[in-house]
Amino acid sequence: MTNKTDGWKYQRRLLIWMSMLLLVVTMGITSVHSVFAAAPSTSSTGAVYVIPVDREIEGGLQKFLTRGFQEAQQNKASWIVLEMSTPGGEIQAAEGIGEIIRNSPIPTAVVVQDRAASAGSYIALNADRIYMQPGSTIGAAAVVDGSGQPVKDAKLVAYWKSEMRAAAQLHSRNPNIAAGMTDANIAVAMPEIGQTKEKGQIISLTAQEAQKVGYADGIVSSVNEAVAALGHSPADMVRVEPSVGENIARFLTLPAVATILLFIGIAGIAMEILIPGFGVPGVIGVIAFGLYFFGGYASGFSGSETWLLFGVGLVMLILELFIPSFGILGILGAASLVTGVVKAAYDTSNAFISLGIAFAAAAVFVSIMAVVFKKRGIWNRFILSEQLSSDQNYMSNLQRELLLGMEGVSLTPLRPSGTVIVDGQHLDVVTQGVYIDKNCPVRIIRIDGSRIIVDEKVADSEGHEGIDPHHVT
């Protein structure tokens, strides 16, 4: 009986220990499961910051994205989503944006709404995920110049190709496809879509093709669908929009607007210099140039050095009008002014085109104004406007010869020089060394170059007038 009781106690104790062990294991498994299950939900606790990339890639966009990424990081966002529709742009700006994405502690996804061409494809490849809408494309990242022609600089092409390959490798995408997007001189096999890029072609992938070759993580119909694929709802979305200042700067840097501002600036200041006295054209010109440089500065294209270069150039051009420098001040001033204008633009070639058009139009406009207001021009300071006329007692030698023998009256005493009036004309004359009093009749007896020589006219004993014989030599 005792042995049975001890056995039962042993079995009960063993059962309790096994139950406790099972409970501990179950709790451990549940805890581990909870940890792994909680991982996705942890990333879903923050907001999703949606930032538009809907223009050319340039310094202004880079500055805008920097602000957007900083706001997302400060607010501990879960994801940053870039709404992309861009034809490409500057390599330097694209590299800067790519660096922002790579260094961000927040994962980034790109939703290609229309196209991610050229520099846009490089930015997309730096992102953790790429989603594409139906009908969108990615690729065509060959280096081109301002006119859209392929750049033949082998070093630049090789450098950009290596950058594209490195961006693709960040997230285990086929680097050869990225190279084929930039270099037309290589062949790239793409068995996933049954195609091979031959030499002379540049790769550009549709949404379906990109998904098959691993360049798209999914095809979505909207940004909301992409956000849902990231484990969030539309309620978690926070849109980052350009500020008023950024929108103004973006408008001012449009090529057409920049050209108009340059035209107004050049024409206004030129009118103020060449046709002074108005004031208004000069003020308008300064404002136009101020807006032009503000757009470049606010967009991140330039710094304060552009203002300095422009100001120095303008001062030199003004000094050239008043200080003879054999053209040195004019050349240096023009070079400094042009450099300042070009450095303030995001694209050098566009800046030269805008400046050329603006200068030609301003030259025509100022020429017309110069004709209209010719009497107020600065050139009048350098032109003798007074005329030597007989009304102002100026007389040529031919006119003086016609006075020979004419008679008049002395207006002043002649000692021996003075003034007489002959036929209504006031003449400066001299005698032959004798004194003739005021209001005496005189006669012009000789013309000696610019000198008019007179003698007193006297009456003889019979009352006939004549020349004083003692005065004649």
Co-location of 354 and 436 in the same domain = no
**CA dist 344 → 237, 256, 295, 309, 393 (Å):** 36, 15, 8, 10, 60
Number of folded domains in the chain?
A: 3
- Which CATH number fits the domain that encloses residue 170? 3.90.226.10
Co-location of 120 and 238 in the same domain = yes
Q: 463 lies in a domain? A: no
Distance CA(371)–CA(330), nearest Å, equals 24
Contacts 24+ apart (CB under 8 A), 365-371: 365/263, 365/267, 366/267, 366/270, 366/271, 366/274, 369/271, 369/275, 370/274, 370/275
E strand or H helix that includes residue 459: strand 451-459
Strands 79-86 and 48-53: parallel
Co-location of 210 and 270 in the same domain = no
Q: 154 lies in a domain? A: yes
Co-location of 434 and 368 in the same domain = no
Distance CA(62)–CA(66), nearest Å, equals 6
Per DSSP, 149 falls in state P
342 near 332, Cβ under 8 Å? no
Contacts 24+ apart (CB under 8 A), 430-433: 430/454, 431/455, 431/456, 431/471, 432/471, 432/473
Backbone angles phi, psi at 426, to 5 degrees: -90, 120
Distance CA(52)–CA(236), nearest Å, equals 17
Contacts 24+ apart (CB under 8 A), 6-10: none
Co-location of 416 and 363 in the same domain = no
Which residues form the domain of 270?
248-374
The per-residue pLDDT for 346 is: 64
- Which CATH number fits the domain that encloses residue 415? 2.40.50.140
Distance CA(181)–CA(168), nearest Å, equals 11
Q: 58 lies in a domain? A: yes
E strand or H helix that includes residue 111: strand 108-117
Co-location of 50 and 170 in the same domain = yes
The per-residue pLDDT for 252 is: 81
Co-location of 370 and 265 in the same domain = yes
Q: Point out the domain boundary residue: 332, 358, 374.
A: 374
Co-location of 262 and 211 in the same domain = no
Co-location of 78 and 125 in the same domain = yes
**Which residues are 131's β-sheet partners?**
111, 218
The per-residue pLDDT for 325 is: 67
Place of tokens 């809408």: 133
Q: 74 lies in a domain? A: yes
Q: 137 lies in a domain? A: yes
Count of H-run helices and E-run strands, the chain: 15, 16
Distance CA(9)–CA(1), nearest Å, equals 13
CB burial of 239-265 (b: ≥16 within 10 Å; e: otherwise) equals: ebebeeebebbbebbeeebbbbbbbbb
Distance CA(313)–CA(319), nearest Å, equals 10
Q: 395 lies in a domain? A: no
Co-location of 370 and 278 in the same domain = yes
Co-location of 232 and 210 in the same domain = yes
182 near 160, Cβ under 8 Å? yes
Residue 126: helix, strand or coil by DSSP?
helix
Largest CA distance in the chain: 200
Residue 330: count other Cβ atoms within 10 Å of its Cβ: 15
Q: What separation, in Å, do the N-terminal and C-terminal C-alpha atoms of the chain show? A: 187
Strands (E), 325-450: 407-410, 417-422, 425-430, 441-448
Distance CA(169)–CA(44), nearest Å, equals 27
Co-location of 125 and 183 in the same domain = yes
Q: 469 lies in a domain? A: no
Backbone angles phi, psi at 91, to 5 degrees: -65, -45
Distance CA(328)–CA(324), nearest Å, equals 9
Q: 18 lies in a domain? A: no
Which residue type occupies 100?
I
Place of tokens 């103004």: 248
Residue 21: helix, strand or coil by DSSP?
helix
Q: Point out the domain boundary residue: 219, 242, 265.
A: 242
Q: Point out the domain boundary residue: 196, 216, 242.
A: 242
Tell me the pLDDT of the chain (473 aa) as tens digits: 444 445 544 444 544 444 444 344 334 433 333 333 333 333 446 899 999 999 888 878 888 899 999 999 999 999 999 999 999 888 888 999 999 999 999 999 999 999 999 999 999 999 999 999 999 999 999 888 766 677 888 888 899 999 999 999 999 999 999 999 999 889 999 999 999 999 889 999 999 999 999 999 999 999 999 999 999 999 999 999 888 877 787 788 777 888 898 888 888 887 777 766 556 777 888 888 888 888 777 766 666 777 788 778 778 877 776 776 667 777 787 788 778 877 777 666 677 888 888 888 888 888 887 777 665 544 444 444 455 444 445 555 556 777 888 999 999 999 889 999 998 888 999 998 889 999 999 999 988 877 899 998 876 545 445 555 444 43
Answer whether the bond into residue 52 is a cis peptide, omega within 30°.
no
